Homo-oligomer: A and B are copies of this chain.
Amino acid sequence: MTETDQKQHVVIIGAGFAGVQVARGLGAAGVRTTLLDRQNYHLFQPLLYQVATAALSPADIAQPVRRMLRRFASIEVLLAEVTGIDVDRRCVTLADGKSLSYDILVLAAGATHAYFGHDEWAEFAPSLKSIADARRVRSRLLLSFEQAEMSDDAAERKRLMTFVVVGGGPSGVELAGAIAELARHTLAKDFHRIDAKSASVLLLEAGPRILTAFPEELARYAKRKLKTLGVTVRENCPVKHISRDSVVAGDDTMPIGVAIWVAGVKASSAGELLGVPTDKSGRVRVNRDLSVPGLSDVYALGDVALVLDTAGKPMPGLAQVAKQEGYYLGRALVRKMRTGAAAPDFKFHNRGNAAIVGRQSAIFDFGWSRLKGVLAWFLWALVHIYLLAGFQHRVLVALQWLWRYVTYDHGARLIVEPERGAACGGLPDGK
Contact = CB atoms under 8 A, between A and B. Distances in A.
Report how many copies the assembly holds: 2
A261 B57 CA distance: 27
A360 interface: no
Nearest to A399: B396
A211 to B, nearest CB: 24
Interface residues of A, number: 93
Nearest to A64: B413
Interface string A376-416: 00000000000000001110110010010000010111111
A73 interface: yes
Which of A36, A393, A397 has the largest number of chain B CB atoms within 10 A? A397
A23 interface: no
B59 A412 contact: yes
A112 B424 contact: yes
B190 A66 contact: yes
Nearest to A69: B190
B422 A133 contact: yes
A130 interface: yes
Contacts of A428: 81-83, 268-269
A106 to B, nearest CB: 11
A154 interface: no
Interface stretch (A13-21, A224-232, A311-319, A363-371): A13-21
Nearest to A283: B430
A40 interface: yes
A109 B426 contact: yes
Given A15-B426, A57-B59, A111-B424, 13 more contacts: A16-B423, A38-B426, A40-B146, A67-B190, A70-B189, A75-B192, A81-B427, A109-B425, A113-B422, A131-B423, A133-B422, A268-B430, A393-B409
